[in-house]
Structure 1
C-alpha cells in the first residue's frame, strides 16, 4: 500500500481480555491492562532511511464492546528521527506515505451504512513526543540548505474522537542548520486547540533565533551579508481556519550587523532594537506597535565615483532567466488551483507609538569628488512619534546629533512613509559647520577652495509623487575663498563677485538655494537671492494648497469644495465660476493633478431623490409630457390625468382603495358647524396620498453612491469639456463603493504628477 519500505521494527503486546457469549445477545468482549510497544522501526526510500522510530509506547489501553469505548492512558514517542527533502515538488516524504489503491481493498461504505454503524468513542488521556529529530534539506527557495529541528518535544492533554473538549498542548524545539554545533534559536508554545471549532490560542516564545541562518535566502535578492543578529519574541496568539488571527507581545532584534558584499564593511547595525508592544489583529487589519527603541544604531551611505550609491547597489539585478526559474520553482498544484482575481483588500493599518534613538551614528562619503569628501554624524539621539498608515496622519520627527564631533545638527518635522503616496515635510538643520570640511564640494562646484567660514544650513524637504524636492536656507558666516580649482563642473557665475554682493557688513550671507533632481546624484544649482517671505509662501502652499492657488488669483474662495443641490448632480452657475477660477490656477501650475471625491447628505439627498423618483412615476403613469413647473403635492388638481395617476399609483403600491383615506382628511376639512370644505378636503386627501407614496420610496446606499459618482463625473466633465483642463490631470476617486456621507458636495485634492 505504501511506497516507503519497512526494513526493521518489532511490536510487543501485553493484554488481559475477556470474551463472553450470552444466549440471545451479541458477542461481548473487553480488554484491560493492555500495553503496546513498537521498537526500532525503520522506513526507507529504497536504501535510504527516511524515518527511524526507536520507541513507541501505547498504554494502558482499556477497550469494551459495551459500551463501545476505548480509553488510552498514554501515547509516548521517543527519539523519532526523520529526514526528507523539500523542493519544487513539495515535501518528498508525502508521496512515500500516500496509500496506493489495490483491488483487494474493500469498497468504501456508503453514507447510509456509515450512519447506521455504531460509533466507537476513543479517549486519549495524554500524548508525548520526546527528543524528536527532524531534518529537512530545503531547496525550493535556495540552492540547498539543511535544516534541523532538534530536540522537538510535544506534550498534550486529553482528547477524544468526538472532539468534545479542547486539546491542551506544550511544544518546544530548537532549530539550526545541520552544520551548526549550537542551537540557532529556540521556540516554545503552550495553549489549547479546539479541533471542533478549528481554533487555537496560547502563548509563544521565540528566543535568540540567529538571522545569519537566512543568508542563503537573501543572496539571490540582496547584495548584503548578514553575519550576525538574533530575534526574540514573547506573546499571546489566537487563530482559526477562517483567517482570524491575532498576536500580542514584544519583539527584540539584538546585535544586528549588515555588510555590503563588495567592501565587507558594516552598512547597517545596531546593538538592540526592542519593541515593547506588538498588537496584530487580522480581523481589524491592523498592526499596532508600541515604543520602538534603537540602541547604538549605525548607517553608512556612500556615493561612488560613477555617482551611483551603495544603497542603489543592494538589490540584485534579476534577469529574464531568473524570473522564469522563479516561476517554474512554484509547485504545480498552486498554479492548478490558483484562485480567481479578487478585488484589492483593505490595506493593513500600521501604527507605531514612537521610535527612539540613542547613541547612534552615521557615515557619509562622496567619492565622486576630487578630493573625496567624508563626514560622520555622532551622538545621534531623538524620537519619531505617532507613525501611522492611516491617511491624514503625520508622525513627528525630532532627532539631533553632531557633525564631526562639534557642529550640532537636528532633524524635525512630519513624515508618513507608510502611505501609498508617502508624505514628508522635514526640516534639517546643520549649525556652525566648518566650511573647510566641505572643500571637496566647494572646489568641484564653486571652483574655489575655502580658507575660512562657517555654514548654517536649514533644509526643508518635501516628498511629492515619490520625488524628493528641497528648499534650502543657507547662512554663511565669515567666508573667505582660497585658491581656484580647474573643475569642469564648476559654475560659470562670477563667484567672487557674487559673494561680495551677498555678504552683508557683518560678513554674513543669507540666501535661499533651491535644489532639485535626484538626491543620489546631487547637482549644484544657484537660485539667487530669496526673500525671507518665500518661506511663508512655501509653507502656505504645502499646508493649504487651494488657499495658495486662490491667493494667486486674488480670491479667498474655498476652491476645493464644490456644492450641489439636494439630490442633484448639476453644477450651479456659482460653482461653475469657482471651477473656472481653479482651472485658471491649474494652467499656471502644469505639474499639478486633481483628484475628485464626491459625497452625499443622506437625509437631504435621499428625500430629494425619493421625490424625483415619485414625480417620474406620476409623469409616466399620467402620460403627460411634463409636470407643471410649480408642481407640488398641494397643487395636484381635483381631477384629471395627474389625479388619476396619483390614485392608480396608490392602489398599486398599497393594494388599497385611495378613497378610504378621505376619512382622515374630512376631520381636518370639517368646521365647527359640521360643514365640509370640499376644495380643502381634496387638497388634504391628495397631500396625504402623495406623502404616503413618498415615504414608501426606498433610496439605498447604492442609489446614493451612484449620485456621488455622477457628481464627481460632472466636475471632471466641466473641467475637461468647458475649461479645457487636460483629462489626464483630473482623476476620479472611488466615490461609489466608499461612500462619504457628510455633505452634498465634491471635495478636490491636489497632488503632483
Structure 2
C-alpha cells in the first residue's frame, strides 16, 4: 500500500508539476522563442498575442499571430488562432506522428507580385543550388504520420498583381480534411476533403475523396463554381488578344476522377456540366462580335489524357454573332488572338534530335446533341467597294450523334431567314470520319441584290431585282487523296431578274425566269449535267453610246485584269504546272435542251444622229444536245422577228462546249425595212434611204479553228433621197454603184464569202464584209465595167469595143461584148450608157485610103456594068475578081487627076497594078473630118446594135469627144469605142 501510495503521490506531483509547467511556465517561454526564431529565419518581424498549452490534452493554442510584410501596413501572414492536439498514446503505439485535431481560425495571407515578376515571399524560397539532392542508390524510409480533423476556418487571402494592375481576394475560406495519413492501416481509406470560399466574391465549393498515399492515388472531386467573372482572369492568359471579353459568367458543377494505374497510363475523367452566361465579346474598336446569353455544355465523359471527349449536349441560347471582313480581307473571327513571330528555335542536342516521336492516341469525339436556338448571325464585308451586309435571323440548328467514330453518321438540321425575306433550310446526315455529308438543301428567294457587290466591280451592272431559288441534295466526301468531292443534284431558278448598266442607268438584262431543271453538278471530277434550261420572257439591251463604245464593253470591264496583269518575269509558266494542266481531264458537260421563250433584244445606236433603234421580238426556239464531247453536235433552232414583219430564222448544229469549237449555222433575216437605217446611210454613204428592204442569208462553218462564211445579201427596191453632206461618207458614186448592182427586178444580190482563222487576232468577219461592200462601191468609179462583168458572170473587159483599122463595122468579138452589155443594161434599167467613138490617126488614115481605093474600083464596075434604067447596085456589095480588079484599077488610075509617070514622048506609061495602087493611095486624101466620121459611124453602129438588143434610146448617148484619139491603154487599139456608165 505504501508503494501504491507513493506511486499515486508521485503521479499527482508529476501532473501538478506538469500542469504548472504547461499552463504557467512553458507559454511565457515558448512565445518569445517562437517569435525570435521566426523573425530570424524569415527576416520578418513575427508577433504572437498569446500561447496556451494544455499538457494534459497535449494541445497547444497560438492566438493573434502576425508576420509583418516589410514596408507594408498589412501583415504578410496572420491568424486569430491555431489549435493543435496530439495523440501521444497512438503515436507511441503506431510509432508515428498522430494529431487528433488541427484547427486554423481566420488565417490571412497577403501576397504581392512585384513589377519585376517576383513576389513578396520570393526571398523565402530556397535557391536551386541550395536544394539538397537525393543520394543515388539510397532509399529512405518514409516518415509515418496521421493528421486528423484538419480545419481552416474563415480564412482570407489578398493577392495584389502589380504587372497586371489587378488584385484578387479570397474570403470565407473554409477547408475541412478528415485525415491525411501514410500509415499502412489508413492507406485504403478515402480522404474526403471539403473546400469552400468566395474568390473575388464568387462562390467556389469543392468536395472530394482521395487516397493520396496509395500507388493509384485514386481521387475524385465535386467542383461547384458559381458566377465566376471570367474576364477578370484573362490577364493571366498567355495569348495576346485582338478582342475584349467584356463579360462572361461561369457556373459549373462537375466531378473529376483521377487514378494512376500500375501498368497503364493515368486516367482522368470529367463529368457534369458548365454554363457560361452573359457572354459579350467586342473587338478592339468596341464593335460587337458575340452576344451569348447562355452556353451550356453537358459532359457525359471527358477523358483528356486518352483523349476521349463525349458531350451529352451543347446548347447555345439566342446568340448574336457579327462576322466582319475588312478591306484587307482579314476576318475578325480568324484573328481573335495576335500572331507572334517567335524566335527561331535553336537546334537541340543530338540526343533530343534522335528521340523517336511518340505515338499519339486516336482522338475520339462525340456529342449527342447540339442545339443552336434563335441565333442572329450578321456578316459585314467591307472588302468590296460597296460593303455587303448579310443577316440570318433567326437561325436554328440541331445536330444529333456527331462523332469521329468511323461509320457513325449523325443528323443535322438547319433553318433560317436570310435578310428577313429568304428561307434557308438544310437537313441530312453528317459523318466526320471519314468525312461524308449528305444534305437536302432548300433555298428560296435569295435576293441577288444583297450580294451584287461581289461582282459589281467586274460587271458594271446594278441588279434592281431578282432572286435565286434551289432545292436539291448536296454531298461532300473525301477521295483517296484526301481531296474534297462535292456533288449537287436538284433544280435551280433565277426569277424576275432586272439589271441596269451603271454608266447610263439604262435597262440591260431582264427575264421572268431562268430555270435549270434536273441539275447535277460535281467537283473533283468536274461535271455539269442539266436536263433542260429554260429562259422565259427575257429582254436584252444593246446600246452604242455617243462615244462609239458599246454598253456591253463598259459592263464587262477589264480594268482589274489589266491592273493585276503579271509582270514579264512573272509570266513564265511553271513547266510542272503546265504539264499537270495538260493532263487534266476536261469537264464533263451535258445539257439536254436550252429553251428560249418570248425573247426581246433591243438595239439602239446613239452615236448616229438621229439615233437608230431596232428590236428583235418574239425570240423562241431551242438548242438540243449540248455536250463537251468532241464529236457531239447540238441542234439549233431559233425564230423571231426584227420589228414587225421581218422574220429571223437561225438553224444548224453547234458544239461550243468542246475543246475545239464547231458550228454549222445558217441565219436568215427577211424583209428588213431599210428606211430606219437612214442615219447610217446619211453618215457613211451620203444619201438617205427613202425605201427598201433587206434580206440576207448567212452560213457559218467553224471547224478546227477555221471559219468559212457565205453571206448572201438581197436588197429590194432600194431608193435613195437627195445627197447630204457627210465627212464620213465614202468618196465614190454611190448611186452609180447601186444602179450597177440593181437588177431589172429592183434587187441587189450580193454573195460575199469570207474565210479565215480564229487564231488570227486581226480576223473579224463583219469588218471584212463591210470592206467588201465599200470595195464594190469604190469599184464603180475605178472599174465599173469590170464590176459589171463580174455581176453578169463574164470575164471580158466591157468598157470598150475594138474595130478593124479603117472600118466602122462591128466584129464578131465586138458583137459578143455588145450582147453582154445589152443583157447587163436590160437587167439594170437604172443604168445609162455613153458611147465615145475613136480612131487611130495613122493606121485608120492608111486603111481609109485603101477602103477609098476599093470603093472607087467597085464604083467603076458598077458604072460600067449597070444601065441607067437598072437599080444601081450598092458599092459595098460588089464582088471583084482578080482580073476585074486589075481592069477597073487601070480605069480608075487613068481617070485620076494627079501627075502620072510618062515616057520620053510625054505619053502616060503603062505601069504594073502594084505601082498604080501605090500612086493611087499616095494621092487619095483622108482628112480629120473623114476620121471623125469614121469614129461617129463606129459609135452609131454600136448604138444601133444595142438598140436592137432591147435597150431604149433614152438610155444610150453618143458623146462627141474632144479628141479623135482615146487615152492610151496597154494592148488595146486606139480604133475603138469606149463606154461610160452613169
Q: Secondary structure at the match of 2:644?
A: coil
Question: How far off is 1:402 after superposition?
Answer: 1.5
Note the C-alpha offset of 1:199: 2.3
Q: In the superposition, relative to structure 1, how do residues 407 and 503 fare at CA in structure 2: closer, same or farther (>3 Å)? A: same
Alignment partner, residue 451 of structure 1:
690
Shift of 1:123: 4.5
User: 1:348 aligned to 2:595?
Assistant: no
The answer to whether structure 1 residue 273 and structure 2 residue 273 are counterparts is no
Distance 2:633 2:792 in 1: 26
- 1:270: how far off? 0.7
Establish whether residue 393 from structure 1 lines up as the match of residue 640 from structure 2: no
Q: What is the CA-CA distance between 1:134 and the residue it aligns to?
A: 2.6
Partner of 1:361: 600
1:482 lines up with 2:721 in the alignment: yes
Aligned ranges for residues 332-731 of structure 1 at < 5 Å? Answer: 343-344=580-581, 345-419=584-658, 422-461=661-700, 471-513=710-752, 517=764, 519=766, 523=770, 525-526=772-773, 527=776
SS in 2 for 1:233: strand
Partner of 2:430: 193
CA distance in 2, matches of 1:165, 1:74: 17
SS at match of 1:264: coil
1:642-666 Cα offsets, whole Å, 9 max, x none, are xxxxxxxxxxxxxxxxxxxxxxxxx
Distance in 2 (alpha carbons) for counterparts of 1:272 and 1:354:
16
**Counterpart Cα distance in 1 of 2:510 and 2:432:** 44
Query: Cα–Cα, structure 1 residues 451 and 31, in superposed 2: closer, same or farther, change >3 Å?
Result: closer
Task: Give CA-to-partner distance per residue, 1:417-448, whole Å, 9 cap, x none.
Answer: 33455444432212122232232333334433
Partner of 1:224: 461
Query: Match of 1:677?
Result: none
Distance in 1 separating the partners of 2:703 and 2:406: 57
Describe the shift of the 1:213–1:456 C-alpha distance in structure 2 as closer, same or farther (beyond 3 A): same
CA distance in 2, matches of 1:446, 1:302: 22
How many pairs are equivalent?
A: 505
Residue number in structure 2 paired with 1:43: 281
Asked if 1:92 corresponds to 2:332, the answer is yes
8 Å Cα contact 1:513/1:525 also seen in 2: yes
Q: Is the 8 A contact 2:436 2:477 kept in 1?
A: yes
Deviations 1:95-154 (A, max 9, x none): 32589999xxxxxx9965855xxx997643211111222333323444543333332222
- Which stretch of the first structure deviates more once superposed, 511-520 or 161-170? 511-520
In 2, Cα distance between equivalents of 1:166 and 1:193 = 5
Deviations 1:246-268 (A, max 9, x none): 11111101111221112211111
Cα-to-partner distance string for 1:539-595 (whole Å, 9 max, x where unaligned): xxxxxxxxxxxxxxxxxxxxxxxxxxxxxxxxxxxxxxxxxxxxxxxxxxxxxxxxx
Asked whether the equivalents of residues 514 and 525 of structure 1 are also in contact (C-alpha less than 8 Å), the reply is no
CA distance in 1 between partners of 2:265 and 2:771 (Å): 100
Cα deviation per residue 1:263-315 (whole Å; 9 max; x = unaligned)?
21111111110011211233443211221111111111122344331112223
Contact 1:459 1:472 in 2 (8 A): yes
Q: CA RMSD in A?
A: 4.3
Q: Partners in 1 of 2:375 and 2:467 — Cα distance?
A: 24
5 Å-filtered alignment, 1:31-70, equals 34-46=272-284, 47-59=286-298, 61=300
Structure 2 equivalent of residue 137 of structure 1: 380
Post-superposition shift, 1:381?
A: 1.1
1:371–1:76 Cα change, 3 Å = same
Q: Answer with 296-305 or 510-519: which moved more.
A: 510-519
Partner of 1:316: 557
Change (3 A) 1:520 1:204: farther
Is residue 402–residue 430 contact of structure 2 (8 Å, CA) maintained in 1? no
Please say which of residues 343-352 and 286-295 is displaced more in the overlay: 343-352
CA change 1:347–1:450 in 2 (3 A) is: same
Considering only CA atoms, is the larger Rg found in Structure 1 or Structure 2? 2
> What SS class does the counterpart of residue 125 from structure 1 fall into?
strand
Q: Which residues of 2 match residues 113-152 of structure 1 at below 5 A?
A: 115=361, 123-142=366-385, 144-152=387-395
In 1: Cα distance, 2:264 partner to 2:631 partner: 79
> How big is each residue's C-alpha offset from its partner over 1:338-390, in whole Å with a ceiling of 9 and x where there is no partner?
x9776213332322222111111111123333433211111221112222333
Secondary structure in 1 matching 2:712: strand
Larger mean Cα displacement after TM superposition, 352-361 or 457-466: 457-466
TM-score between the two structures when normalised by the length of structure 2: 0.46
Q: Which runs of 5+ in 2 are unaligned?
A: 1-236, 343-354, 568-575, 755-762, 777-786, 794-982
- Note if contact 1:468-1:517 (Cα within 8 Å) is conserved in structure 2: no
Aligned CA distance change for structure 1 residues 306 and 468 (closer, same or farther; 3 Å):
farther
Contact kept, 8 Å, 2:404 with 2:433, in 1: the verdict is no
- Shift of residue 61, structure 1, vs aligned partner: 4.1
State the Cα distance separating 1:190 from its structure 2 match. Answer: 1.7
What CA distance in whole angstroms lies between the structure 2 residues aligned with 1:44 and 1:53? 12
Aligned with 1:235 (options 466, 469, 472): 472
Once residues 167 and 28 of structure 1 are traced to their aligned partners in structure 2, the CA distance between those partners, rounded to angstroms, is 28
- 1:193, CA displacement in angstroms? 2.1
1:264 and 2:505 matched: yes
Distance 1:190 1:322, change over 3 A: same
The counterpart of 1:300, out of the listed 541, 545, 557, is 541
> Match for 2:411 among 147, 151, 168?
168
- Name the SS of the counterpart of 2:449 in structure 1: helix
Checking the alignment, whether the CA contact within 8 Å between 2:415 and 2:425 is kept in structure 1 is yes
